Chains A and B, each alone.
Chain A
Amino acid sequence: MSKLTLNALTKSIWVFHAACSPCNNCDIEILDALTPRYDLERFGILLAGSIRHADALLVTGFPNMKTAKRIKYLYDQMPKPAVVIAVGTCSCGGNMFRHSYNFVKPLDEIIPVNAYIPGCPPKPEAIIMGVVKLVKALRKGNK
């Protein structure tokens, strides 16, 4: 990946929001983070309608029998270079569903995850901080 592409990528991240059987609290917090109050367009972050336009996949919830293969399929449909962000404790490690009968395996064993934002649910500020840390790490990793 060239430096120009990477710099442009970190300045214009279009996110796609994949609900992977969550309890919906994390989704509400993600939508809160995208409201005018937090104004993520300052950093070039927009919500993309289609996975083909997306640069970041925000995954909420834990992968179960039904959604595990679908989240893999969704990841394959996303044009690379792209990043995956796990939002909430469920997608980071399974939370209280870890020993549930329909838990398949943690998200980062299905698709590569670039950033983890724990919390049940994480606040919009925490989500923004996670994304900013990821952007900084991406920029540093290139130099």
Chain B
Amino acid sequence: MNYIYHYLVFPGFLFTGICGMIASFIDRKITARLQWRKGPPFFQPLYDIIKLLGKETLIPEGTSRILFLLLPIISLSSVVLLGTIRGVVILWPDEPFIGDLIVSIYLMTIPAICLILAASVSKNSLASIGASREMKLLLGYEIPFILSLLVPVIKSGGKIIITEIIKYQFENVPFVFSLSGIIAFIVAIVCMQAKLGFVPFDVSEAEQEIMSGVLIEYSGPPLAIFKLTRMIMLFVYPLFLVKLFWYSRGASFLMDIIAFGLKYLAVLVIFILIKNTNPRLRVDHAIRFFWIHCTLISLVAVILALFGY
């Protein structure tokens, strides 16, 4: 019963949904201000979701109806589960969950896999182009991402429990203030940009080129669920980086919460700035960037971490 409450209300669906909408508003507002515009009103993400929920659902002819409608729900529930695990682990640290770092890494790939499957079942040629690009990107960014997440694991002495990694940062300095930590943090931010589907790496749904690619056949409530998943990802994914790399103890619990929020906002603004100042990369350029540059740099970070820098 307690778990259902956690999943549906507090660190789960309702809380992450509201925070995700606020994060999405911040994203759109900062983008607008950077383009010298006024930007949308505060409740715009909510209006979008409500409007999409009230629209008709069209299902393309000859597809698997069950899969077509189930995939958005799987994608949303995995992201919500991710948020719930993190929230429960942070707020009630006396119930440790061994290996939650690994579970989190797996859960973070599920939305991308759902997008690939959703594009494949929707029987559209542009959607299948989007699916193949998303698949290549997924293969590209997973390797440097996992390598850069190895750095906090190595530095905390082989811990794979997020609470233990946080505790280690409480007792010592946060990992961003070491050489290997800052390198891994930067690589992880770049990979996270691709995970969120933000601009230098948004080839899978390039609007001007393949007409929103993977989501092209989705309409009404399923599309609303995919949009909500994106918003929650915008809240949960940067938080994960802040927890792993940049968690320090303040004077009191309240100060801790405020500092944590400010750090989250700083990482979010970095994402938005990268998004607004870069053109879209072609998929082969993106893969070369991830496999050669990012992987090598994160390997260097892992080696530095092994030597204790």
Task: Determine if A8 and B50 form an interchain contact, defined as CB atoms under 8 angstroms apart.
Answer: yes
Task: Determine if B39 and A41 form an interchain contact, defined as CB atoms under 8 angstroms apart.
Answer: yes
Chain A, residue nearest B218 (CB): A52
Stretch in B29-37, B80-88, B133-141, B152-160 touching the partner = B29-37
Task: Determine if B56 and A80 form an interchain contact, defined as CB atoms under 8 angstroms apart.
Answer: yes
Is B170 engaged at the interface, CB distance under 8 Å to the other chain? no
Inter-chain contact count A-B, CB under 8 Å?
84
Point out the residue from B37, B58, B207 that lies within 8 Å of A52, measured CB to CB. Answer: B58
Task: Determine if A1 and B212 form an interchain contact, defined as CB atoms under 8 angstroms apart.
Answer: no
Point out the residue from A5, A12, A39, A80 that lies within 8 Å of B32, measured CB to CB. Answer: A39
* Residues of A close to B55: CB separation below 8 A: 5, 55, 79-81
Point out the residue from B54, B58, B220 that lies within 8 Å of A1, measured CB to CB. Answer: B54
Name the distance in Å between B56's Cβ and chain A's nearest Cβ. Answer: 4
Is B293 engaged at the interface, CB distance under 8 Å to the other chain? no
Is A4 engaged at the interface, CB distance under 8 Å to the other chain? yes
* Residues of B close to A2: CB separation below 8 A: 54
Give the CA-CA distance A4 to B54 in the complex, in Å: 9
Give the CA-CA distance A51 to B223 in the complex, in Å: 13
Give the CA-CA distance A47 to B211 in the complex, in Å: 11
Task: Determine if B56 and A39 form an interchain contact, defined as CB atoms under 8 angstroms apart.
Answer: no
Chain A, residue nearest B50 (CB): A8
Interface residues in B17-49 (C-beta closer than 8 Å to A): 28, 32, 35-41, 44, 47-48
* Residues of B close to A48: CB separation below 8 A: 212
Give the CA-CA distance A1 to B55 in the complex, in Å: 10
Q: A1-B54, A50-B211 are in contact. Are A12 and B47 (CB under 8 A)?
A: yes
Point out the residue from A1, A8, A41, A47 that lies within 8 Å of B28, measured CB to CB. Answer: A41
Give the CA-CA distance A53 to B39 in the complex, in Å: 21
B contact residues, range: 20 to 34
Task: Determine if A52 and B223 form an interchain contact, defined as CB atoms under 8 angstroms apart.
Answer: yes
* Most chain B beta carbons < 10 A, residue from A12, A48, A55, A77: A12
Task: Determine if B58 and A8 form an interchain contact, defined as CB atoms under 8 angstroms apart.
Answer: no
* Residues of B close to A41: CB separation below 8 A: 28, 32, 37, 39-40
Task: Determine if B40 and A79 form an interchain contact, defined as CB atoms under 8 angstroms apart.
Answer: no
Task: Determine if A52 and B216 form an interchain contact, defined as CB atoms under 8 angstroms apart.
Answer: yes
* Residues of A close to B223: CB separation below 8 A: 52-53
Chain B, residue nearest A82 (CB): B55
* Residues of A close to B32: CB separation below 8 A: 39, 41
Give the CA-CA distance A52 to B127 in the complex, in Å: 13
Give the CA-CA distance A114 to B28 in the complex, in Å: 29
Is A49 engaged at the interface, CB distance under 8 Å to the other chain? yes
* Residues of B close to A5: CB separation below 8 A: 50-51, 53-55
Task: Determine if B40 and A42 form an interchain contact, defined as CB atoms under 8 angstroms apart.
Answer: yes
**Per-residue CB proximity of A66-89 to B under 8 Å, as 1/0?**
000000000001011100000000
Task: Determine if A79 and B220 form an interchain contact, defined as CB atoms under 8 angstroms apart.
Answer: yes
* Residues of A close to B39: CB separation below 8 A: 39, 41-42
Q: With contacts A42-B37, A42-B41 known, what are 14 further pairs, Cβ within 8 A?
A: A2-B54, A8-B54, A9-B54, A11-B44, A12-B44, A12-B48, A39-B38, A48-B212, A49-B205, A49-B216, A50-B216, A55-B51, A79-B57, A80-B56
